[in-house]
Amino acid sequence: MRLRVKVVIILASILVTVSFIIYLYSKLTLINEYEKIEKNLISADINRSQNAFAHMLLSLKILNTDWAIWDEPYQFMQDKNANFIKSNLVAASYESQGLNFVLFYDLEGQLFYGQYYDLIHKQFKAIPKSLLNYLHAHPTIVKQRSLAASKQGIIKLPEGYVVLSSMPIQKGNAEGPIRGSVVMGYFLDAAHIHSLSEAVEIPLDFFPLPNPHSTGLLATAYHYIENTGEYYIVPKNNYMAYGFDLMNDIEGYPVSLLRIEVPRTIYLEGRTTIRHYFLIMVLIGVIFLVAIWYLLKVFVLDRLLSVSGQVIRAKSESQFSTRIQISGNDELTDMVGAINSFMELIELSQEQLKYKITQHSEKLERLSGLNKNLFVEINRQKALEVKLKHDEEALRQMAYHDALTGLPNRVFFREFLKKVITKAEREGEGFSLLFLDLDKFKYINDSFGHDIGDKFLQHIATQLKNSVRKSDFIVRLSGDEFIVLLSDTNLKEYINIVVNGILKNISAPIEIGNNTIKSTVSIGVSIYPADGVTVEELEKHADLAMYYAKKQTGDACCYYDSLPKDAISPS
């Protein structure tokens, strides 16, 4: 990579790194501050929405107060005169006040008189049973004993939310005994919600409380407010945000979620400001780095590359008698002076070298013939060393491995087992030894010939390899006797799995030379250290267990520690 390219990459990397740090700082600090301001503003909007709804309740309370503290309804609760109904409980009254119902209750909480008016279809209808049932189930709303006991709020019915007010009925001068309660209100429909939205200049909605086990934004908002007591504020997208709060019913229990939707003006302004700030910083950084690049190029790179070119040219042409030229008086000038001195030394060294080459040329010609003979002798010695190494490996293979199956033999096994015992004793581990003897192998040799018998032994060796792990050790002792060493395990559960696999694989028939051969095997097992701690003890006890297995049924396995006492000969 050229020096100019490296400098450009370094400067660009500095610019990118600084820009990234500025951007990260802006995201972690400035954006967070803007988001805090945004949440504060949304919280204020939620408060305004709650206050607007409280104002709606207050308006209904004032209206209800005009009805409750009035001589005519006070007299009506005594004589139930029809003139009061004809004069006041008419369609115009409901429409002008935006009411759906006016209900009169006596002191016992029983409905004295009531009407329900459908504002949409402009007609009187039956009072919803759900409304009457709710008021009956909540007698504190309709049993008013004092003016302080009046109630205003919303209730949740199957038909929707209802805004209502309940006031005790008294005379116009607020004197005299209370004769009952007047309950009035209306269903909170889309028109009322739209009116509230216009009052606070914010789109708002009411949602029934979600199932506590449900998922989604509404459930998340509900659980957050319920657990923290704080407003739940979450972005809808980069341009709008939601604010949530709980709405309580007339009894003070959560009954609905209030949601407002506000534009993220502060957040967007913050992002724009940060973006402009970031672009300005990047632009300043680019100008700064371009200036650095220009100064480096003029005062360092161009001069350094000029020196580099002159040195390369002198080297390629072997003109060490030339001298490097450079302008200025700084460290580069000192470096060029050192290079010129070094080139003088090279020039002198070349002259001396040419003289010495001439002297040694004749010696090299005389030694050349000797070198050729020496090279031939060295190659011959190397060939002998390779042959000796191959012979040594072949002898080792013959000494430690069975020629027929390629498995390790008894000599190799005993040396290996000593190392396994030493390792197991040092690390406190166990292992197991399986002594195997083919059943009726002599019959196979006598019936099919030794060639078939040898191939069958090779087959047995292959089946044993397929029945154990690669880390386990398989040995052919002699004839039809084999040993399997299961390393790192003395658990009978695992040993039984291996033994069953061996019995199954070996007992499977095999075709050799148009002959179907089937044989079985007897297995004896000894376990270190329970059944012995030396090579001789472990091999002897496994052999004895094998002999007992063969003596019993053949095609079986016996553990040394499970032999009857009379089957174990003294050691």
Q: Write the pLDDT tens digit of every residue in 432-449.
A: 999 999 988 888 888 888
Instruction: Give 328's pLDDT tier (boundaries 50, 70, 90).
Output: confident
Q: In this predicted model, which residue has the larger pLDDT, 251 or 400?
A: 251
What integer is the mean pLDDT of 475-488?
90
What integer is the mean pLDDT of 353-373?
75
Residue 149 has pLDDT above 90, yes or no: no
Buried residues in 112-151 as b, exposed as e (16+ CB within 10 A)? bbbbbbebeeeeeeebbeebbebbeebeebbbbeeeeebb
Q: What's the rounded Cα separation, in Å, for the pair 279 and 548?
A: 91
Residue 321 has pLDDT above 80, yes or no: no
Stated length of the chain: 571
Q: What is the mean pLDDT of the chain?
A: 86
Mapping DSSP to helix (H, G, I), strand (E, B) and coil, where does residue 77 land?
helix
pTM (2 d.p.): 0.49
H helical segments located in 401-449: 410-427, 441-448
Buried residues in 59-95 as b, exposed as e (16+ CB within 10 A)? ebbebbbebbbbeebbbbbeeeeeebeeeebeeeebe
Residue 234 has pLDDT above 90, yes or no: yes
- What is each CA distance from 451 to 49, 459, 506, 519, in whole angstroms? 102, 12, 19, 16
Residue 325 has pLDDT above 70, yes or no: yes
Q: What share of the chain has pLDDT > 90, as a percent?
A: 44
- What does the pLDDT read at residue 571? 42
Q: Write the pLDDT tens digit of every residue in 370-385.
A: 777 667 777 777 877 7
Residue 34 has pLDDT above 90, yes or no: no
Q: Write the pLDDT tens digit of every residue in 287-301.
A: 988 888 888 877 787
- What does the pLDDT read at residue 4? 73
- What does the pLDDT read at residue 314? 76
- What does the pLDDT read at residue 339? 82
What integer is the mean pLDDT of 96-103?
94
Q: Write the pLDDT tens digit of every residue in 336-347.
A: 788 878 777 877
* Closest to 528 (Cα-Cα) out of 538, 519, 540, 539: 538
- What does the pLDDT read at residue 398? 58
Q: Write the pLDDT tens digit of every residue in 444-473.
A: 888 888 899 899 999 999 999 999 998 899
Residue 212 has pLDDT above 70, yes or no: no
**410-567: CATH class:** alpha beta
- What does the pLDDT read at residue 1? 67
Q: What are the tokens at 377?
A: 């002798």
- What is each CA distance from 143 to 104, 107, 301, in whole angstroms? 11, 6, 97
Q: What's the rounded Cα separation, in Å, for the pair 546 and 556?
A: 9
Instruction: Give 392's pLDDT tier (boundaries 50, 70, 90).
Output: low
Q: Write the pLDDT tens digit of every residue in 158-209.
A: 999 999 999 999 988 877 789 999 999 999 998 889 989 998 899 999 888 8
Q: In what helix (H) or strand (E) does residue 153 lie, and over which residues does it extend? A: strand 151-157
Buried residues in 160-173 as b, exposed as e (16+ CB within 10 A)? ebbbbbbbbbbbee
Q: CB neighbours of 163 closer than 8 A, spacing ≥ 6? A: 56, 57, 60, 153, 154, 185, 186, 187, 188, 192
Instruction: Give 388's pLDDT tier (boundaries 50, 70, 90).
Output: low
Mapping DSSP to helix (H, G, I), strand (E, B) and coil, where does residue 253 land?
coil
Q: Write the pLDDT tens digit of every residue in 536-555.
A: 999 999 999 999 998 887 78
- What does the pLDDT read at residue 2? 73
Residue 211 has pLDDT above 70, yes or no: no
Domain ranges of the chain: 69-194, 410-567
Q: What are the tokens at 77?
A: 């609760």
Residue 485 has pLDDT above 90, yes or no: yes
Across 297-306, 433-442, 558-567, least confident range: 297-306
CATH architecture observed for domain 69-194: 2-Layer Sandwich (3.30)
- What does the pLDDT read at residue 437? 93
Q: What are the tokens at 89?
A: 């409980």
* Closest to 485 (Cα-Cα) out of 550, 493, 476, 396: 476
Q: In what helix (H) or strand (E) does residue 154 lie, and over which residues does it extend? A: strand 151-157
**Inter-residue contact 170 to 176 (CB < 8 Å):** yes
